[in-house]
Amino acid sequence: MKITGIGHVVLPSHDVEAGLAFYERVLGLEKVAYLPAARMGFLSFGRTHHDIALCKVDESVPVGSQGNAHTGIHVDGGPEALVEIRERLAAEGIDVEPVHDFGFMNGFYFKDPDGNRIELFCDIMADGEALDVLRAKQQRASRASAGGA
């Protein structure tokens, strides 16, 4: 058996129909299905049955991301495309955070209508190189927490 990656995310929603419309309008996802009996809606970037699902939860149930929790969505086209998308979202009145640079990727955060935090990001180095950079950061952090040994 080999696990190959993350297949989709399911986000809680108080209003699935409004959330589906938001993701269609803002990110260009296709609404594949809205199933009221299942209390779920399904969205796709076009390559698989669904990438994001919205699941209706009762109004008494908290929704939205806590702390730094978020869903990261990859953007093709590099930093220029990322800035273009950010400017378009801001022009629509969506509260977008400043672009961040983690050294191996750039991105920015915003929230959907239910407060689920979304990160749009682009890689700025090859996957293998980025993995090495992050592993090196871990090694430095481990040495620092061990007193610099």
- Please indicate whether residue 24 or residue 126 has the higher confidence score (pLDDT): 24
Q: What pLDDT band is residue 143 in, cutting at 50, 70 and 90?
A: confident
Q: What is the pLDDT of residues 34-87, one digit of tens each?
A: 999 999 999 999 999 999 999 999 999 999 999 999 999 999 999 999 999 999
CATH 3.10.180.10 occupies which residues in the chain?
9-58, 70-142
CA 132 – CA 17 distance, rounded (Å): 41
pTM of the model: 0.88
Q: Residue-wise over 98-121: b if at least 16 C-beta within 10 A, else e?
A: ebeeeebbbbbbbbbbbebbbbbb
| CATH number at 9-58 | 3.10.180.10
The third-level CATH classification (topology) of the domain covering 70-142 is: 2,3-Dihydroxybiphenyl 1,2-Dioxygenase; domain 1 (3.10.180)
Query: What is the widest separation between alpha-carbon atoms in the chain?
Result: 58
